[in-house]
Amino acid sequence: MYFWMGNLIPRTMSTQHPDNVFIPFFAKEPVLGGEDEISEAFYAFSVLGVEEQMWDFEGKEVDEFVIKKLLEKYGEFFKKHKLGEEFRLTPRVPNPSVEKAEAKLLLETLESIPRSADYAKIFYNDEIAPIFEVILPMTTSFEEIQRVYELYTKYIAGKQYKRVFDIKIYEWIGEFYPTEISIIPLFETKEAILNAHKIVEEYLDGKDFEYQRVFLARSDPAMNYGLISAVIYDKYALFKLQELEEEISIDIYPIVGVGGAPFRGHLTPDNVKGVLEEYPSTQTFTIQSSFKYDNPPKEVMKAIEEIKNTKRKKAEPIDERLFQILTKYEDEYSQQLRVLAPYIREVANFVPSRRKRKLHIGLFGYAREVNGSALPRAIKFTASLYSLGIPPEILGLNALSEKEFELISEYYKGLYRDLSFAFAHFNPNAAKKFKFLKPIVELAKEWGIEQNSEYVAMTERVITGEISKETILNLAMLRGFLG
């Protein structure tokens, strides 16, 4: 199998998550797409020093000639720094089991892999596959991973040996390279995350791979089940994957999708150490748009170097007694969310878009029926609640006792740090409208956390229905991320 030719699996992966407040300098318009994302990939590689760029074919408009354009436009750089060796580009593809409207885009994406290798061969005069892995979102079973693996191996690369009239395909239009690719499952639901090790074990059975990468979502599980559950479930999965790695003697390299808001992972330049301590066995951390564009470039580069200069450590076991506590926490979180849903939808209309996206339906994290209407995606969801002065991190907390908080904090290391950030952006006056917030106001007082007065005053406008795009953006600037 064709694998990463560099010395290490990447520690950092630039993504196209639209969570940034500020528009990057190279963008032609506020909503990034097309040529802007080509420039973004080059900026991530050449300036920020990120080793990998996720190229998102899932749920958005995308340029499938990215490799050709990068090599043509920035040839001097990529002559010195080879795509597929020093840097890599990894597509996130649609999952046909969930995204029926986008299902055939999977075929197009996989077909582009050998074509990209052809461009690289001409450019480098060498057999280099610039793309040799794809990310499969919303994975729930080993069959879904195996299907994509076989689709490429048998029906994309494998068709080169078929005969067309009087000649084999590879003799006519050239060989297909690489002959196989690696599939990175992205687990997003509670069931999939908690069973990630079993699904991966079943997929790897009988395969002679050097390693396997596994992607754990952080944003959508938080939206689905609440902040605390999302962290604990991911940490449980990381430990179980570590056990599997030791059992089957195949290296497993986890990726965790962390954004800037504590609700979505709290990876910011000034909290790198905290995230590394929270997820010590993670190999690759996502560098999302807010990280790249809402912070001074020097701080961004320094933080990326800090991550790259560390090595992953051992994961710690999770006490499964926590799951009982999480059940009642999730029930309370869901009830509160049901009340807030109409307000979230209303505010979301004023949250600016940052990427050219298509309609995307599927799991709760993408669209979920609540009182007959769908909630927005995780970033607009987070932005809406922060704009209302009700950070999503605080929802459901009143279900927990002081003793339960202490137990959770033994496993969720940054619990109090993350909640302190949220409470600083909490408007206690929201409890007048939403009575279930009263115990949370008391909790904030107990912890002695002072609110950001300028921020809280601005959220009053949103709570009272005086919503504008300008107010939403000003609030985002104050807290340091869009959503």
- Rounded (10°) CA dihedral 337, 339, 343, 348: 20
Domain match, 328 and 282 both: no
Q: CB-based contacts of 363: which residues, under 8 Å, 6+ apart?
A: 98, 138, 188, 189, 220, 224
**Would 467 be classed as within a structural domain?**
yes
- Is the model's pLDDT at 392 over the cut of 80? yes
What average pLDDT score do residues 297-315 get? 97
pLDDT at 374: 78
Domain match, 373 and 442 both: yes
- Is the model's pLDDT at 358 over the cut of 60? no
pLDDT at 101: 80
In whole angstroms, give the CA distance from residue 330 to residue 438: 18
Name which residue leads in pLDDT, 101 or 396: 396
pLDDT at 333: 97
**Would 192 be classed as within a structural domain?**
yes
Domain boundary among the residues 256, 280, 308 is at: 308
Domain match, 358 and 262 both: no
**Would 3 be classed as within a structural domain?**
no
Domain match, 289 and 413 both: no
Structure tokens at 64: 């499938």
Domain match, 288 and 329 both: no
Domain match, 403 and 440 both: yes
Q: Residue 13 pairs with which residues in a beta bridge?
A: 52, 286
In whole angstroms, give the CA distance from residue 223 to residue 19: 15
CATH number at residue 38: 3.20.20.60
What average pLDDT score do residues 388-415 get? 97
- Is the model's pLDDT at 31 over the cut of 50? yes
Domain match, 294 and 373 both: no
Read off φ and ψ for residue 169, nearest 5 degrees.
-55, -45
Mean residue pLDDT across the chain:
92
Domain match, 241 and 348 both: no
pLDDT at 63: 65
Reported as a pLDDT band with limits 50, 70 and 90, residue 371 is very low
Domain match, 99 and 224 both: yes
Distances (CA, A) of 352 to 215, 222, 259, 340, 374: 28, 22, 17, 20, 18
Name which residue leads in pLDDT, 372 or 418: 418
pTM of the predicted model, to two decimals?
A: 0.95
- Is the model's pLDDT at 363 over the cut of 70? no
State the CB neighbour count (10 A cutoff) for residue 306.
Answer: 14
What average pLDDT score do residues 263-285 get? 98
**Would 392 be classed as within a structural domain?**
yes
**Would 391 be classed as within a structural domain?**
yes
Q: What percent of the chain has pLDDT over 90?
A: 87
Q: What percent of the chain has pLDDT over 70?
A: 94
Domain boundary among the residues 285, 308, 331 is at: 308
What average pLDDT score do residues 100-108 get? 86
Domain match, 386 and 281 both: no
CA 473 remoteness from chain centre: 22
**Would 2 be classed as within a structural domain?**
no
Domain match, 36 and 139 both: yes
Structure tokens at 449: 């956390």
- Is the model's pLDDT at 309 over the cut of 90? yes
Domain boundary among the residues 260, 276, 308 is at: 308
Domain match, 18 and 143 both: yes
pLDDT digits (tens, 9 = 90+) for 313-327: 999 999 988 999 999
**Would 329 be classed as within a structural domain?**
yes
Strand 369-370 with 373-374, pairing: antiparallel
The helix (run of H) or strand (run of E) holding residue 54 is: strand 52-56
What average pLDDT score do residues 232-249 get? 98
Structure tokens at 92: 């996130």
Range of the domain at 257: 12-308
In whole angstroms, give the CA distance from residue 355 to residue 30: 8
pLDDT at 58: 63
In whole angstroms, give the CA distance from residue 16 to residue 130: 19
What average pLDDT score do residues 206-234 get? 97
pLDDT at 237: 98
Q: Is the separation of the CB atoms in 71 and 123 below 8 Å?
A: yes
Distances (CA, A) of 68 to 47, 78, 116, 123: 20, 11, 7, 9
Number of domains observed in the structure of the chain = 2
Reported as a pLDDT band with limits 50, 70 and 90, residue 48 is very high
**Would 119 be classed as within a structural domain?**
yes
Q: CB-based contacts of 465: which residues, under 8 Å, 6+ apart?
A: none
